[in-house]
Structure formats: structure tokens, C-alpha cells
């Protein structure tokens, strides 16, 4: 072919969305070397160093362009999870003029741009793609169950008058296990809010995409993918675009050897499968009271653990998403004497750990996770069963899928009489069940035999995800280039 084909990808702000876009780009150019990828990145404030480092490490056929940062000082009344979602959506919308200018420049330099792949918060960019006669695709960075929920949302909105948390019966989302209304997610619980209306409008615009790319694989979400890919009448009206499940795509291990050496050295000295890894992702935060309960629960369990601890926030469950968090040392919030009492079997790390290397280490036997989809896929790839502790966004839906459908996780109970906290006794019970109980052994076996093996086969030459990526690549190869 005389000219390399260019695919433009547009993630929303935040590492959690950038990571799967980067991994997709790497897989695309590796398996189909007639593509180059340009990653155009809307930003809120100055891009963090970790983001810059990830982008600079990419191969030469993947380029990146930061759009001018969007400021929200006049808009931001709080830093709640709901506020953050609205900010992300606004950032994507306010970045459209810069995106338009950048696309125009690419096309005018005789670059053969054949497709625009955007984040779920960036569906307004479909209109920009149309201006350049570009085919626009959606990259949904969560899973098929969450996508099925969003496609079902307009119909559910018409059927139900109360708040979803007040529904007396579980919601039957097409292709998925029934979900209690309270587990649909905090972002959907106030139907009069701007956030709910944003997601409702987002779901309706998904159908405008020429195709939807999903970082999942058939063996982990058979029912949801089947419902999305077939003519399921349970969804509301409108045609669903073709679905391309191309996962699991996870990031490679860190190249920062200095930061991770102490952590992995400690793991080297622990028995096989004996350590529980505790982390709430790049943005998750606990309240002060919940942090105290978790500390005592880990201590009471008498199990080995690595805990990535972050300063608490009583206002938001994802206060660290845009670095809006306490500057105090997180160790200052731990119970008195906790570090001393647990030093023989626990390692507490401030804010960051090399998650890929920890999950891939032979001493790691469990993962207490916030149920972000990236973390779930990483755990699946390395065969580590989970304790599901969802915090925000679609994570409660993910927790239901893990515990009720594929059954590779335990979920601690949250009771009203405990003030909405997961209390220390419950934490200790679930941790012990995972790490030393018979049920934990069954979950570990189920994870490795049903999911981890299937994940490793998905990108083999005849694997379903490899074939799905090939189908998408051929479709893009045959697209006409964008014009201005």
C-alpha cells in the first residue's frame, strides 16, 4: 500500500481511560503494521508525569498530541464523583474546537486518516468526524455488561418512575444476571441530576457510531455480548452498531525499577499465594472511618497483605482522580500502632504500587479491588481471585458480574445498621475466606480454569479477540480517507 493508514483515537481525561486506548493502539499496529495511530488527548490541567511517561514509551508509529487544557475553576463547586463525571464530559465538549483544528491539520498534510475512535464521553466528536467525512467509532473502556446497561437505560427510564435504588425487584438487563437497583451505580441514582441526564443522552448517541470496540472477551461475558450482537428486543428502539470485543488488553509492566524494587523484594520472601493485594486504583478514596475499619479488618484477619494506602476523603469516593486529595501523609490516618503490629506480615505503601508486577507475582493470592475494569482484566490475566469493593461509576455493576455471574470474587456486606461502612469483622471474615478457606480455593480454581486460560487464548492466531481485531482492521483498511 502506497500510504500508511492513520487512525485517530481520542480518550477522555484520566489514566483509567488512556490506558486501554494506548493498549489498543499497540495491538493494532503490532498485528496490522499498515496503520499508524495518532492519540489526541483532551486535558484538564497539566498532564501528570505518569501519563507523559506512558506516551513517550510508545513505538514510533503511535504519536500523541495534547489538546490545550480546559480549566474548570469557575465551574467546580465540589470534587465529588458526580462532579468529576460532568467535568470529563465538559472537557470533551469544550475540546471540540481544538480537536477540529488538529484533525484538519492532519488531513491537510496528506495523512490518510480513515477512522476516528472516541471515548464514551466524547460522542459529540461524531459531529466533527462527519464534517471531515470520517467514519467514527466508539471505544467503550468498560465491559459488555455496563454497555448493555446503558443501551437498556432509555427503556428502563420509560418503564420506571421511582429511583432505581427503590425498585422492589432486580433489573433484568439483556444478557446479564439480574441486578438490584442500588447496584446500577451511584451515578444513576438521582434521575433529576445533570449526571443522569448526561448518561441518558450518551446512551442514545451510542447508536450513531459505525462500530463499538470493547476491551473484553467472549468467555467472561458470553451472555451480554450475545445480547449486544444479536437482535435483542429487550433494548429500546434503534439499531445497535456492530460490536468488536478485542480484549483483554492490559498494560505492560512498569519500567520504573527503582520504585518497585522494595515491594517485589518483600513479595519474594513470602509463601506462594499467601499475600492479599489491596488497592483502589488510581482515583479511589475511602472515608476516614472506612480506612480505619479496613486497617483493623486486615489486622484481625491475620493474613499477609500489601496495602496501597491513600489519604482519606469524606466527601468523595474518587477524589484522587484529578489529584484533588489531601497532601497529608496517608500513614498519619492509620490507627495508632497499626504499622508496628502488622509489620511481620503486612507491607503498607503510599499511593502507588507496580500493580502488574504484584498481580503477576507467585506470592500474590488475592486482590481486594475497587472493581475498575482495567484492574479486573489484569487480575483475570494473572489468575488472581478478587474481593469486590466497588466505589464509583460502573464498579457496582462490575462487582455483580464478578460475584454472581462468573463467580470469581467475594463481596463484603454493607449494612445500614453499620452506618454504610464495611466493618472490620466483615472484612476479616471475607479476607480469611479468600486466603485460607475452601471457598477461596474453589474461586481460585474457577478463575484460572474458566477465565485465565481463555484470556490467554483470546489473542492466539485463531482466538476470538484476534479475529475481531482483524475484522475491524480490514474494515478500516477499506474506508475512504477523511476530507476537508
Which amino acids are annotated catalytic?
17, 119
Q: At 40, which helix (H) or strand (E)? A: strand 35-41
Reading the block at residue 236, the C-alpha cell is 429500546
**Grid cell digits, residue 169:** 425487584
Cα–Cα separations (whole angstroms), residue 226 to 202, 207, 234, 269, 364: 22, 17, 13, 45, 34
Q: Is 352 helix (H, G, I), strand (E, B) or coil?
A: coil
Q: Are 232 and 151 within 8 A, CB to CB?
A: no
Instruction: Tell me the β-bridge partners of 13.
Output: none
Residue 248, preceding peptide bond in cis (omega within 30° of 0): yes
Cα–Cα distance, 7 to 210 (Å, whole number): 14
What are the start-end ranges of the E strands in 351-414? 364-369, 386-388, 409-410
**Residue 355 has what DSSP assignment?**
H
**Grid cell 499477609 — which residue?**
304
CA-to-CA dists, residue 131 to 99, 104, 480, angstroms? 12, 10, 14
Cβ contacts of 61 within 8 Å, gap of 6 or more: 4, 29, 33, 35, 36, 37
**d(Cα 374, Cα 381) in Å, to the nearest integer?**
11
Where does 199-354 show beta strands of DSSP type E? 212-214, 243-245, 275-279, 304-309, 346-350
> What whole-number distance in Å separates Cα of residue 391 and Cα of residue 450?
26
How far is 451 from 446, CA to CA, in rounded Å?
Answer: 7
CA distance 434 to 133: 53
Neighbours of 360 (CB within 10 A): 16
Q: Is 175 helix (H, G, I), strand (E, B) or coil?
A: coil
Which three cell numbers, joined as nine digits, stand for 225? 455480548
Residues 259 and 254: their CA atoms lie apart, in Å, by: 9
Amino acid at each position: 500500500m502506497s500510504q500508511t493508514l492513520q487512525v485517530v483515537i481520542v480518550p477522555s481525561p484520566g489514566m483509567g481511560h488512556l490506558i486501554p486506548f494506548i493498549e489498543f493502539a499497540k495491538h493494532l499496529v503490532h498485528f496490522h503494521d499498515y496503520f499508524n495511530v495518532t492519540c489526541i488527548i483532551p486535558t484538564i490541567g497539566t498532564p501528570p508525569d505518569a501519563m507523559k511517561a506512558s506516551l513517550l514509551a510508545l513505538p514510533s508509529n503511535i504519536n500523541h498530541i495534547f489538546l490545550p487544557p480546559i480549566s474548570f475553576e469557575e465551574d467546580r463547586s465540589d470534587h465529588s464523583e458526580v462532579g468529576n463525571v460532568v467535568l470529563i464530559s465538559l472537557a470533551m465538549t469544550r475540546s471540540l474546537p481544538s480537536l477540529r483544528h488538529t484533525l484538519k491539520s492532519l488531513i491537510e498534510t496528506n495523512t490518510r486518516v480513515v477512522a476516528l475512535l472516541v471515548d464514551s464521553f466524547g460522542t459529540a466528536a461524531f459531529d466533527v468526524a462527519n464534517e471531515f467525512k470520517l467514519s467514527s467509532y466508539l471505544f467503550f473502556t468498560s465491559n459488555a455488561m455496563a454497555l448493555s446497561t446503558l443501551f437498556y437505560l432509555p427503556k428502563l427510564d420509560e418503564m420506571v418512575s421511582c429511583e432505581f435504588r427503590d425498585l422492589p425487584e432486580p433489573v433484568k438487563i439483556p444478557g446479564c444476571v439480574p441486578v438490584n437497583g442500588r447496584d446500577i451505580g451511584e451515578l444513576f441514582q438521582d434521575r433529576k441530576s445533570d449526571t443522569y441526564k448526561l448518561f441518558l443522552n450518551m446512551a442514545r448517541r451510542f447508536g450513531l457510531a459505525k462500530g463499538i470496540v470493547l476491551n473484553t472477551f467472549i468467555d467472561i461475558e458470553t451472555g451480554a455480548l450475545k445480547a449486544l450482537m444479536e437482535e435483542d428486543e429487550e433494548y429500546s428502539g434503534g439499531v445497535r452498531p456492530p460490536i468488536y470485543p478485542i480484549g483483554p488488553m492490559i498494560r505492560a509492566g512498569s519500567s520504573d525499577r527503582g520504585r518497585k524494587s522494595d515491594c517485589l523484594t518483600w513479595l519474594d520472601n513470602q509463601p506462594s499465594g499467601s499475600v492479599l493485594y489491596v488497592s483502589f486504583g488510581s482515583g479511589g478514596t475511602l472515608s476516614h472511618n472506612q480506612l480505619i475499619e479496613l486497617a483493623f479488618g486486615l489486622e484481625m484477619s491475620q493474613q499477609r497483605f500489601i496495602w496501597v494506602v491513600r489519604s482519606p476523603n469524606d466527601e468523595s469516593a474518587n477524589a484522587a482522580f484529578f489529584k484533588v486529595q489531601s497532601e497529608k501523609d496517608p500513614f498519619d490516618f492509620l490507627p495508632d500502632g497499626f504499622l508496628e503490629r502488622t509489620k511481620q506480615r503486612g507491607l503498607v505503601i503510599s499511593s502507588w504500587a507496580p500493580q502488574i508486577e504484584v498481580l503477576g507475582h507467585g506470592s500474590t493470592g488475592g486482590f481486594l479491588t475497587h472493581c475498575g475494569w482495567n484492574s479486573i482484566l489484569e487480575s483475570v490475566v494473572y489468575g488472581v481471585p478478587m474481593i469486590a469493593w466497588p466505589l464509583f461509576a460502573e464498579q457496582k455493576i462490575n462487582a455483580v458480574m464478578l460475584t454472581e455471574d462468573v463467580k470469581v470474587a467475594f463481596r463484603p456486606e454493607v449494612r445500614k445498621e453499620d452506618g454504610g461502612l464495611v466493618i472490620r469483622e466483615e472484612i476479616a471474615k471475607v479476607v480469611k475466606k479468600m486466603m485460607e478457606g475452601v471457598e477461596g480455593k474453589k474461586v481460585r480454581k474457577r478463575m484460572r480454569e474458566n477465565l485465565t486460560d481463555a484470556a490467554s487464548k483470546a489473542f492466539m492466531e485463531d482466538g476470538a479477540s484476534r479475529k475481531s481485531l482483524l475484522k475491524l482492521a480490514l474494515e478500516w483498511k477499506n474506508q475512504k480517507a477523511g476530507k476537508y
